[in-house]
Every structure is written in structure tokens, then in C-alpha cells.
Structure 1
Amino acid sequence: MQSLNRVRKHRVLGLAIGLCAVLVAGQVSANGAIGDHVNDLKGHLNSYSEEVNWLVAKFGEVVDTYEKKGQKATDTKVMVEYWEGVDFHSAIETNYVPVYASIWQGIFGVKQAIEAGAPIAKVREEQAKLNQALWQGLGAVKLASQYQEKGLLAKVQTTEVEPTTMPEILDDIKHRLDRVVAKYAEKLPDAATSIVHDTYLHRFEGVEGALIEQDAALVEDLEKDFNVTLPQALNSKTSVDDVRKVVESMQAKLDKAKSLLQEAEKKRKDVF
């Protein structure tokens, strides 16, 4: 398939930096509007599968061109255009951010290997990682479609929805941290850092007062993560995996914080 009718106009990658300053809650895409298809995953599985096969083929064409004609004849920019142009992009972004980040990591793995003039064997190795991430993403969407059909997944919000309780705020913070990893994988460290700062100011500071009453040391630890550890990781040009490790550590602490707040609320209700 040489063309894809559903391919949308290429969104200029640089614009994402500015757009990311306007953060959204829940499952809203940080790359722009998402289609209603994300709330009917089962009905679109065939098209998602078609798109993944198309992506694998188109990415393969880029690598084939590099092998046959060399670096100067190879346009790596189209890889981002292909990926951002399919509906599968938002389907995986709204359902499994870790794999979404891995796909971006794979795209840039191939792209940078070609731009560095790497041996074709190295480029093929990066291509295999990218293909694996794409198929893993399709599997995740298929699984999500089953949960969605059983009513076990919340409807994807296409407009901003503010969390109203402290546990909801902590869940939202965890999701925003997933977005940090995704943006870093997209080679947008400034956008990722903006998400961190915005999340700290507009989410974490709203719950830290109640958390201090339960575990002041935990709050201090998270404050350091938000203001020192994670920003330093984003600015040090470390690997996506290393950034993900910092985020996962923070998310574990947020889970502990959520449990503490829920337990405190339960005790308060028992008293009254």
C-alpha cells in the first residue's frame, strides 16, 4: 500500500514543544485532537492492523533505500510523518504510553543510525526493535479493546477533565509522568521538562499539604524528584530507559502516597 487515505496532514514536530505547555488530564492526547475511534477500539482493529503493516513496510522502504542508495538519498524525516499520520498513533498513545514511548524510541533509533552513517547491520537491528515495538503496541490495543468492550476502561476524554479528589490528582500525576517519558522519547526534552514543572505546580502542590501530615519524608523525596532528579535526567541526554526508571520510581512513591491518603480518609470517616 503506497498511500493511506486516513493519513492526516503532517503535524510539524517543532510545534509540539509549544503545544505541550497546554497540558491535559486523563487520557487526552498531548499531540493534538484524538478521534472518536479510540472509544471504539474493537471496531477499528482491522484498520489499526492495516496501519501497522503499512508502517512496517514504509519504514522498511526507508532502510532499503539507505542500503541501496546511501545516506544522501535517504529521507528519514518521512518516518515521523508516517507515524504521526495514522490513527493507530492515538490508539496506542491513549492506552499504553510505555509502548508509545518505545515506538518513538525505535523511530529515532533507525533515524539516527542512518543519519550517522551506521553500517546497514546496525540499522537493521534498530529496525527490528522498531517493528517489535509496533507489533507490541498492536497487541496492547487489542487487549485494551477487550477491556473496553467489557466496560472496564473509562471513556477516553477528548476535552480536559480536572481531577476532583486527591487520589484522582495522584493518578493524574502518574499519567502526566508517563507523558514525560513519551515526550523525551520524541526527542522533545524541553516539552518533557515543561510537563514536569507544570505537574508539580498545578497538581502536586495541591496535595502535598495533606501528604505532609501522613509522611513528611515522602513529600520531601518527591519534591526532590520533581525539582532535581527528573529534570537533571531530562537535561543530561540520558537514555529513555534511564528516564523511565526515574519516573517508575516516582510513580511507586505516588502509589504509596495515594494509599496513605485513602487510609487517612477511611480513619476520618470511622471517627465520624
Structure 2
Amino acid sequence: MAYKEVKTIKCNPELKGMAVMIPEVIYSTAQGVDLKMQILTPWKSDVSSIQTAYPLIVFVQGSAWTHPDVYYQLPQLAQFAREGYVVATLTHRNSLEGHPFPAFLEDVKTGIRFLRKHASQYQIDPDRVGIWGTSSGGNTALLTGLTGDASRYKTKEYGEYSDSVKLVVDCFGPTDLTFALNNLSNLEEGMKKIFEGLRGEDTPENLAKLMEINPANHIKEGQSYPPFFLLHGNADTLVDYSQSELMYHRLSDAGAEVSLVCVEGAPHEGSFWSNELLDLIKEFIADNI
């Protein structure tokens, strides 16, 4: 747009609607792997004397439980930081590099505890923490919400802090992999290797332990759970829509608060995403955190 004369606008001393990225924050080295997160926060104003604490969204990008691409959804996640959330998107150990289940779950929970420990540094309200994941990250988000502070998934790092969450957003995450785990020899070679990596050594004990990767197996009637928001495309050929339907009914039957959104004609990723969908997620988070 061209102006025929000088245009004057007001400055933004409070940096309202702006965000800043804190890159490559190492949250754990205890397992011999540098585990990192990228943190997005509302841009702190130098003129404000008030230390604001913002709700936290922990985001886990899908990776088939290997190595999450933490940059993939940064453009979308930045919207949340501009609107008053701290967002941390983090990596976890790779199942194909000798880190079987529950390594990825332990790592994400460690990341949550790290952020609570450093809440003041990153302007986080430690009492307002939610988790959001896609695909295998959605599976991780569900497991995190269902197993808050469970000792069997808690490492010693930051052990005095909680890894529980106030809400769970799951986008097309697998919820019951029993059939695949019992039929590894029939899987496509790439997925077979991933599940073998998640299992570790081929023993009945390891296979039984790996069944805990199914969020559907963790639901118990009468147990107190955070609210769940499930979103899934009904044209997803990688993780069938029925996986979210199953989770919806299991959670509902157990008395949990749960909602399910079907994205008509959507595949895995790609055209699944829209501003309408992001607005629904924002509304759910705002209502529950």
C-alpha cells in the first residue's frame, strides 16, 4: 500500500500480540542423549514491572516414536504464544536407536517437570499445564494425561515436580495397537522395525510391557482424568479414524470429559489442518486450562 503522505501509528510498549522463541533448550542429558525443546513465549515488555505467568502448552510432534521434527508446526504454535501461552515443543529418545518403550513417554514427562522447575524463568504458571500431540505425539499426549505422576514412568530428574496435566489434545493418535503388536511379522518393513525398536529384545515380557503403549488400556472407571479433546480425519489411511472413536467411547464410558471432532475427508496431516480446527483447539484449551 502506498501513502501520499507520512503515516503515523502508535508504538506497542507492552509488546501485545508479539512472541519470541527460545531455541535449543536442553532439558535432559541423563540418558546419554541431549534432549531439547524449542520454547515460544509472549514477548516480555521491558516497560512492564509485572511478571506475568502464562499457561503452558507442551506439544509433541508425531514421528512414529522416532525423532520429532520440532520445527514442523512452529508457525501454527506461534499463534498460541502471541495469544498468551507459553508453548514448548520437544524431542524425545528415538525408538530406532535402542530406546524401547517407555523411553519416549518418560522423556516427555521429564520435559514437563523441567518446565515446572523453571517456571519462573520461562514465565509459566505451573498450575496451568496442558499437552497436545499429533500422531505418535497424540498417543504420547494421551498416555501422559492418563498416567499423571505414575511412578513407573517417572525418572529421577526433577522428581520433586509433577508431570500431570490439566488437559489433553490428541490429533489422530493411535490408541489401541494390540493387533499390530501381535502380528509384527505381517507389518510393512518400516513399521515392523519401529515396533521392534519400541519392544526391544524379543521376549514375552517385553511384548507384554509394550502393550502399555495403548492409551485404551490405561482407562479405569471411576479414575479422575483431565478433559480430552480428540480430532481425527475420517480419510486417514495411516491411523484409522476408528482409533479415536474407540478412545472417545472408552473415556466416555469411564466417566471422563471427552469430545471428538471428525474432520471430513481429511488425511493424516496435510489438509487436516485449518484455521477452523485451530480455533476449536484454542477454545478447548482456553476453557480448560
TM-score of the aligned structures, taking structure 2 as reference length: 0.26
More strand by share: 2
> What's the TM-score once normalised by structure 1's chain length?
0.27
